[in-house]
Amino acid sequence: MSIKLIAVDMDGTFLDDSKNYNRARFARQYEQMKEQGIRFVVASGNQYFQLISFFPEIAHEISFVADNGGWVVSEETDLFNGELTKQEYNTVIDHLLTLPHVEIIACGKRSGYTLKSYDEAFKTMAATYYHRLEQVESFYGLDDVFFKFALNLPDPLLDETMDSLAETFEGIVVPVSSGHGSIDLIIPGVHKANGLRILQEKWGIQDREVVTFGDGGNDLEMLRQAGFGFAMENAPPQVKQTARFQAGHNNREGVLNVIDKVLKRQAPFNE
Identify the active-site residue in 9, 184, 215, 219: 9
As a whole number, mean pLDDT of residues 20-41 equals: 98
As a whole number, mean pLDDT of residues 202-208 equals: 98
DSSP letter assigned to residue 228: E
In the chain, where the domains are located = 5-81+190-264, 86-186
Architecture of domain 86-186: 2-Layer Sandwich (3.30)
As a whole number, mean pLDDT of residues 135-162 equals: 95
As a whole number, mean pLDDT of residues 153-165 equals: 93
Return the higher-pLDDT residue of 180 and 201.
Answer: 201
Please say if the pLDDT value at position 180 is more than 90.
no
As a whole number, mean pLDDT of residues 247-263 equals: 98
Provide CB contacts within 8 A for 238, sequence distance 6+.
217, 220
Residue 60 is predicted with a pLDDT of 98
Cα separation, 191 vs 172, whole angstroms: 14
The runs of H, that is alpha helices, within 108-267 are 120-129, 158-168, 192-203, 220-225, 237-242, 254-264
pLDDT tens, position by position, 38-83: 999 999 999 999 999 999 999 999 999 999 999 999 999 999 999 9
Identify the CATH class of 5-81+190-264: alpha beta
9 is catalytic: yes
pLDDT tens, position by position, 82-102: 999 999 999 999 999 999 999
Cα separation, 56 vs 181, whole angstroms: 29
Please say if the pLDDT value at position 178 is more than 80.
no
Residues in the chain: 271
Q: What strands lie across the sheet with 77-81, from one edge to the other?
A: 77-81, 71-74, 63-66, 39-43, 5-8, 210-214, 228-232, 245-247
Average pLDDT, the chain: 96
Do 131 and 49 meet the contact criterion of CB atoms below 8 Å apart?
yes
The three-state secondary structure class of 20 is coil
Residue 271 is predicted with a pLDDT of 72
Element (H, E) at 23: helix 23-35
As a whole number, mean pLDDT of residues 126-131 equals: 92
Residue 1 is predicted with a pLDDT of 65
Please say if the pLDDT value at position 219 is more than 70.
yes
